[in-house]
């Protein structure tokens, strides 16, 4: 009841309405978030425990040797509110100069680390295929532009598939527009090559609406993770212009934080193709605006058909990652 009251109050504050907005009050899984070195385990755990996300699939950034220990610390502090995604990029996987052999060894070592520490991981974090450069004061990054046939990407995908886990791919179709057709074609081939495996595209792959329709029409196992596909990202781009070359984000929402009708219709028609995630990366994602973003998503989900909202918010992640929780349309 206290949680519901807090949601109602937050809705009034954010919307300026006399009455609270209708929200989705079912089970909510954040299917991909990250914890970096600039925020403590205790702080992240307090935020996770306080806020209205039922389960967070968590990957760790920073020092690879302490990744498993950090997750175990957070898991203990959050009780049953997190699951582990083995990091894929802690040993230079997304760095141009890193050898493919050492990058792959990093993933294998982190998997061994998780097994040794008896962590029942549900998957692997995002595999960086393409990523625009960063010039942020907290991160200097030269960027990378691989494709799905590059040696390290093929080997990383193979590790995940052999472990019977869904493959999370980070591609940026708009920021590398010159290669977008090639990547789209390779995604279709990949989906058909592994028809019994699931591929999830981070940040909607920066995909245009027509391209999303194309992927859906040609495959049944390539899905879209909704992280950062919102107005908040558009605001951040304008505010931090010049700090990141990531400019091609797709936005599912209109200016009132409602789903754009074309995306609303596509989700209602293809509910198993979308997976909710927030992808907190930096300390600022956790410390500022997290509660408001959760509310924004709960409000938007309420505009979908009930069964569709439940699949996108919980059911799809629960199925693809084989989590085994009960997805409820209405929590107590």
pLDDT at residue 92 is higher than 80:
no
Domain segments of the chain: what residues?
2-320
Q: What is the tens place of the pLDDT at every residue in 187-209?
A: 999 999 999 999 999 999 999 99
pLDDT in tens, 56-83: 999 999 888 899 999 999 999 998 899 9
pLDDT digits (tens, 9 = 90+) for 217-226: 999 999 999 9
Distance CA 125, CA 36 (A): 13
pLDDT for residue 98: 82
**Predicted local confidence at residue 206, as pLDDT:** 93
- Give the pLDDT confidence score for residue 74 in this predicted structure: 97
- The contacts of residue 108 (CB under 8 Å, 6+ apart) are 159
Q: What is the mean pLDDT of the chain?
A: 89
Query: How far is the C-alpha of 68 from the C-alpha of 169, rounded, in Å?
Result: 22
DSSP per-residue letters across 89-142: STTSTT-TTS-HHHHHHHHHHHHHHHHHTT----EE--EESEE--EEETTEEE-
Confidence of residue 24 (pLDDT cuts 50, 70, 90): very high
Of the pLDDT bands very low, low, confident and very high (cuts 50, 70, 90), residue 13 is very low
Contact 169, 201 (CB under 8 A): yes
Reported as type and span, the H/E element at residue 281 is: none
Q: Lowest mean pLDDT of 96-105, 287-296, 317-326, name the range.
A: 96-105
Per-residue pLDDT tens digits for 102-127: 889 999 999 999 999 999 999 999 99
Q: What is the mean pLDDT of residues 227-231?
A: 93
Measured CA distances, 62 to 34, 78, 105 (Å): 10, 20, 17
**Quick one: pLDDT at residue 79?**
87
Tokens 């967070």 belong to residue: 56
Higher pLDDT, 244 or 149: 149
Instruction: Give the separation between CA 224 and CA 320, rounded to whole angstroms.
Output: 12
The tens digit of pLDDT for each residue in 242-272 reads: 555 567 789 999 999 999 999 999 999 999 9
* Separation CA 121–CA 118 (nearest Å): 9
CATH fold for the domain made of 2-320? TIM Barrel (3.20.20)
């Amino acid at each position: 009841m206290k949680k519901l009251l807090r949601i109602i109050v937050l809705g009034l504050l954010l919307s300026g309405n006399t009455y609270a907005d209708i929200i989705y009050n079912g089970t909510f899984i954040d299917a991909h978030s990250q914890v970096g070195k600039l925020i403590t385990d205790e702080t992240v755990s307090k935020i996770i425990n306080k806020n209205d996300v039922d389960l967070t699939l968590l990957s760790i950034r920073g020092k690879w040797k302490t990744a498993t220990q950090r997750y175990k610390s957070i898991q203990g502090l959050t009780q049953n509110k997190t699951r582990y995604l083995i990091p894929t990029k802690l040993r230079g996987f997304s760095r141009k100069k890193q050898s493919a052999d050492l990058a792959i060894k990093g993933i294998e070592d982190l998997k061994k680390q998780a097994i040794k520490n008896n962590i029942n991981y549900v998957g692997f974090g995002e595999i960086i295929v393409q990523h625009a450069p960063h010039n942020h004061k907290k991160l200097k990054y030269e960027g990378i532009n691989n494709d799905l046939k590059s040696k390290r990407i093929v080997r990383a995908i193979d590790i995940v598939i052999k472990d019977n886990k869904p493959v999370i791919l980070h591609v940026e179709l708009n920021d590398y527009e010159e290669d977008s057709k090639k990547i789209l074609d390779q995604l279709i081939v990949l989906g058909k090559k592994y028809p019994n495996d699931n591929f999830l595209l981070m940040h909607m792959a920066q995909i245009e609406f027509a391209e999303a329709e194309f992927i859906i029409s040609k495959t049944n196992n390539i899905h879209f993770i909704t992280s950062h596909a919102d107005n908040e990202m558009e605001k951040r781009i304008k505010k931090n212009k010049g700090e990141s070359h990531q400019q091609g984000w797709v936005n599912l929402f209109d200016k009132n934080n409602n789903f754009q009708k074309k995306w609303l219709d596509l989700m209602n028609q293809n509910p198993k193709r979308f997976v909710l995630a927030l992808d907190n990366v930096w300390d600022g994602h956790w410390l500022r605006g997290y509660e408001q973003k959760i509310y924004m998503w709960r409000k938007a989900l309420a505009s979908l058909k009930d069964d569709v909202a439940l699949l996108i918010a919980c059911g799809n992640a629960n199925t693809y990652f084989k989590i085994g929780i009960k997805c409820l349309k209405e929590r107590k």
